[in-house]
Amino acid sequence: MNRLFLLLFIVANASAEQGFMPISGSEYLSEQVRDMQEDEFANPAMPTVDYGRSLFHKVNDEGHRCSGCHGENGNKLKLERIAAYPVYDREQERPITLQNQINICREERMDDFPYVYDCREMVGLETYMKFLARGQIIRVQTDGPMTPFYQAGKQLYHRRFGQMEMSCAHCHDQHRGAWLRGQVLNQGQSNGFPVYRLSTSRVTSLHRRFSECLFSFRAEPFLSGSDEYINLELFVNARGNGLSIETPAIRD
């Protein structure tokens, strides 16, 4: 009888893994924190959104501004495309993130210098644009030319790093729902990024969060904007296909 249960347990788990259901990190929050996230007056990341909004409308030395092409308050932006990043760039023959695209715009259309990846301005613009796309369903391409990059990201997700020899999958697949000391392990979904982190009181980009995890494994992080992190972002974002954007979310 016990063996039958064991078998059923294994079968149930295997099928659960196959039909992976993405669950937003918000589902793991207390009701109080979730309310704070929804409330634009209480959400502590809103100053970052406002900062991004001001940059979006600011005229640079060459007389260009984002809103020149994308409309006042981004009303000409294709919001469903914001939910599709990283997207495949035919010219560069690689996936590019929203931050990469912002720099392409700055260099090619605004005659301006590119920003450093994950700098304050970048995170401000990214937070603002994703905030505009709140509620959009995430649809990231993983097939066709994206396949090798997606597979590379998947491999990173499962690679053991640092002195702790842990991988992303250990916490966010094997042990999600468990308590790691005072913190519930969630699925590690990226649909709320950039997020406001309660444990550091900072707005944190996805690549920055990757680095924070690697530091906790006592591992040398990769650089923000590195190929490794872009591939990992591709895998992690695609893993949340079907979720809706919640930027700026609040997380532990």
Partner 1 sequence: MPNQMLLFVSCLGRIAVIMSVLLGGSSLACAESYIPWQVENHAIPAALGGLKGDPRRGRQIAIDRSKGNCLACHHLPVPEEEFHGTVGPPLEGVGLRLSAGQIRLRIVDEKQVNPMTIMPGFYRDPRYFDRVLDDYEGKTILTAQEVEDIVAYLLTLREVSE
Contacts of 27 (CB under 8 A, 6+ apart): 186
Binding flag, residue 218, partner 1 (CB under 8 A): yes
Q: Judged by CB under 8 A, does residue 164 bind partner 1?
A: yes
Query: What is the pattern of x (binds partner 1, CB under 8 A) and - over residues 171-210?
Result: x--xx--xxxxx--x-------------------------
Residue 213 catalytic?
yes
Confirm or reject binding of residue 152 to partner 1 (CB under 8 A): no
From the CB of 221, what's the least distance to partner 1, in Å? 8
Amino acid at 141: Q
Q: How many angstroms separate the CA atoms of 47 and 202, rounded?
A: 11
Closest CA relative to residue 237, chosen from 19, 83, 107: 83
Count residues near partner 1 (CB under 8 A): 23
If binding is defined by CB under 8 A, does position 51 make contact with partner 1? no
| Residue 128 to residue 155: CA distance in whole angstroms | 31
The minimum distance between CB 56 and partner 1, in angstroms, equals 37
Please give the distance of CA 179 from its chain centroid, rounded to a whole number. 23
Instruction: Compute the distance between CA of residue 219 and CA of residue 30 in angstroms, rounded to an integer.
Output: 31
Site residues (CB under 8 A) for partner 1? 159-166, 170-171, 174-175, 178-182, 185, 214-215, 218-220
